[in-house]
């Protein structure tokens, strides 16, 4: 099996469409959708596009997928860095998805494990196998990796959540983040990964200025649309993001 991994799309449909064109050209067997798929300016159309992948799409739950389903149910409770995302954001997004969308998001698994050519068993999760909202960064202490993945049989794990691509070893386990399709930090373009038999961190170029304009036109009343569109036009700093995530890790007990 050879797979593409797409994470943190966040309702950025123009970026998703651009990446899927590259994915089709790569000739993969499956596409792992590694969480945080729809909350953002185009939630319903993004979910419809992913559903159109059919059996090729393998869905994994992200924290915002869970939150979006909860918002439609009226039970959303912010946690972690989600506390910085107002309930109004999720309410706006939830009003633009269907009950069928909600049902799919609510049923997504926390982890999926696939046997990948050249890599063997690979476990996919959004945050960690124990928490979809746990932050693991490229500079996280090895002890955090050991605690988060120590009970995992697979020697390769692919996560998301922090919107920054990396590929590193931590106590002999290979940990990969494909980066973010919809809102990458530290670089422009849409990030994703190709697995089997090697690991290739990919970047798809698309017209980010046009995409940001389309977002603002389709979602002018989305709370935080200026932040979202601004980070599509010019990526947020990876240094600033790492500092913010380090604070979240300390709160979660992952850093000393």
Q: Taking the domains of the chain in order of start, what are their residue ranges?
A: 3-252
* Three-class DSSP category at 253: coil
Give 105-134 pLDDT, tens digit per residue. Answer: 999 999 999 999 999 999 999 999 999 999
Looking at domain 3-252, does it have CATH number 3.60.21.10? Answer: yes
Indicate if the pLDDT at residue 207 is higher than 70: yes
Which candidate, 160, 136, 165, places its Cα nearest to that of 32?
160
What residues are paired with 236 via a beta bridge?
Answer: 185
DSSP assignment of 103-156 equals HHHHT--SEEEEEETTTEEEEEESSBTTBTT----TTS-HHHHHHHHTT-S-SE
Indicate if the pLDDT at residue 205 is higher than 80: yes
Q: Interhelix angle for 13-26 vs 43-51, to 10°?
A: 20
pLDDT at 110: 98
Indicate if the pLDDT at residue 84 is higher than 90: no
Give 24-80 pLDDT, tens digit per residue. Answer: 999 999 999 999 999 999 999 999 999 999 999 999 999 999 999 999 999 998 766
Q: CA angle, corner 201, sides to 197 and 203, nearest 5?
A: 135
pLDDT at 247: 87
What does the pLDDT average to over 243-250? 88
């Amino acid at each position: 099996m050879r797979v593409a991994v797409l994470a943190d799309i966040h309702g950025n449909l123009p970026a998703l469409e651009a990446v899927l064109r590259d994915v089709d050209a790569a000739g993969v067997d499956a596409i792992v959708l590694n969480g945080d798929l729809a909350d953002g300016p185009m939630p319903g159309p993004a979910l419809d596009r992913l559903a159109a992948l059919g059996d090729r799409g393998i869905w994994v739950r992200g924290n915002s997928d869970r939150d979006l389903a909860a918002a439609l149910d009226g039970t959303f409770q912010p946690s972690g860095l989600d506390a910085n995302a107002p309930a109004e954001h999720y309410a706006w997004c939830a009003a633009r998805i269907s009950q069928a969308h909600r049902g799919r998001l609510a049923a997504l698994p926390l982890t999926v494990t696939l046997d990948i050519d050249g890599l063997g068993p690979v476990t996919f999760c959004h945050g960690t196998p124990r928490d979809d909202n746990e932050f693991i960064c490229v500079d996280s202490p090895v002890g955090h990796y050991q605690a988060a993945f120590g009970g995992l049989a697979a020697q390769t794990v692919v996560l998301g959540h922090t919107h920054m691509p990396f590929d590193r070893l931590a106590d002999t386990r290979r940990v990969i983040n494909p980066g973010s399709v919809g809102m990458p930090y530290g670089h422009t373009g849409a990030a994703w990964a190709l697995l089997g038999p090697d690991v290739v961190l990919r970047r798809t170029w698309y017209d980010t200025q046009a995409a940001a304009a389309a977002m603002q036109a389709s979602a002018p009343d989305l709370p935080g649309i200026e932040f979202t569109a601004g980070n599509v036009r010019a990526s947020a700093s990876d240094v600033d993001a790492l500092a913010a995530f380090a604070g979240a890790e300390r709160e979660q007990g992952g850093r000393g």
